[in-house]
Structure 1
Amino acid sequence: MSKGEITILIKYTDFNAADTIIDSQYNQEWQSLNAILTQMPLHIKASDQAGIQGNPIFDPVGTNEYIKAALIQSGWQSNIPIPIPYRFLGKEVDFCKSGIIIEIQFSNYPFLLNNTLRSELFFKAKTEFAGHPTNILILVTKALMFPASNSTLYYEQAVNQLTALVINKVFDIPIRLIGLFEQKNTTVPVIWSQYLSERYSRTVNNRITRQCEIIAGLSSRSRCQLRLL
């Protein structure tokens, strides 16, 4: 396992020599993905959870849409069907290019294992996506610092899970795990989205750029407070 840090906006942890493979085979693809993620504005929305209803939280829908549009523009293929013999593990992978699979993981934390397990199968079986056998998995998730819906995965949690699994040789596929961060105790531009219904809707009523103050929690294990200006 090795760790790296590019900017305050992303951190990553590599497993199973992913850094060596990326440096030797996929530097161009990595630079493209790095640029997309580090230039992306923070997307937030209003919470629908009891007790914090209306408070700004991380917006997985808006973030996913931004990443998808940017990756497609950079030549990545999206929503690639999983071969029929393995369709019991899901319908499609999020993105692929030249033997790289990218999975955007903002949903509940158990889905991390599903994404990793099926990618391990694709790696072992040399399953091809867009004409290339699977060589490496890149996972993108958010940091603990962001207020978010209950039980959704965060980067620090994913690091702990994958570390234990790799140490015990559960997985062999090279994995780069990326966490999305922001600078604390500062004001940043954000994309504020309002949806047709507060719960589970992907239909946007309004999406505007606003300023948001990111206020650090009481400890490193506390979530920040987001305050729209």
Structure 2
Amino acid sequence: MMCLVSPRTGRHLQRYDKGCRQVVGCIPYRYKSKGIQDKEIEVLVISAQKGQGMQFPKGGWEIDESMEQAALRETIEEAGVVGNVESKLGKWVYKSKSQAIMHEGYMFPLLVNKQLDNWPEMNFRKRRWMTVAEAKEICPHAWMKEALDVLSKLGKWVYKSKSQAIMHEGYMFPLLVNKQLDNWPEMNFRKRRWMTVAEAKEICPHAWMKEALDVLVCRQTQPQPKL
């Protein structure tokens, strides 16, 4: 299979914001089995051009492309995979060791649907699928590890409990159901009901849970950018 894109060279189109180089990248992932818990996905890491480290594909965001287009392009060039670019995981500011300048890094999840046999940087990069835990262990970049943490959950919300009048930090995770139990620990004092997303947003009284639901829907419906 031929490469889908030609690699870009030079930095004459590179974006900067107040002296910070704009960098975008992806965490390519796939499901090992039914479900979307941390232990049931694999992520793809690639070797760095310099040194022995492993990392996620990323590179400069250029002025003639959207952020999502740049993220997909860099992933194809460096990792040789294609897929759906989902909602942005966040922004991280870090200093490049090799260039000694500040960078703003944006990371996106990419659900892989095709792995290429040939890709632009195949002659000087290795790629390897591994678990989330293995990737966190092998990746030397703290900001990429933080992005991986965000991928594993829908997000973090800080809210005040009405009943206890204290602050809480709430973390929400998506879970793709493959079995519904007839008996469960709290069955005697909880009811359960399947409904549409719109119905759930209407009936749920907690703003932070509604926001988590919005994040889930956005991840599932993010359109595929065109190169």
TM-score with structure 1 setting the length: 0.23
The structure whose Rg is larger is 2
TM-score with structure 2 setting the length: 0.23
Q: Whose strand fraction is larger, Structure 1's or Structure 2's?
A: 1
Q: Whose helix fraction is larger, Structure 1's or Structure 2's?
A: 1
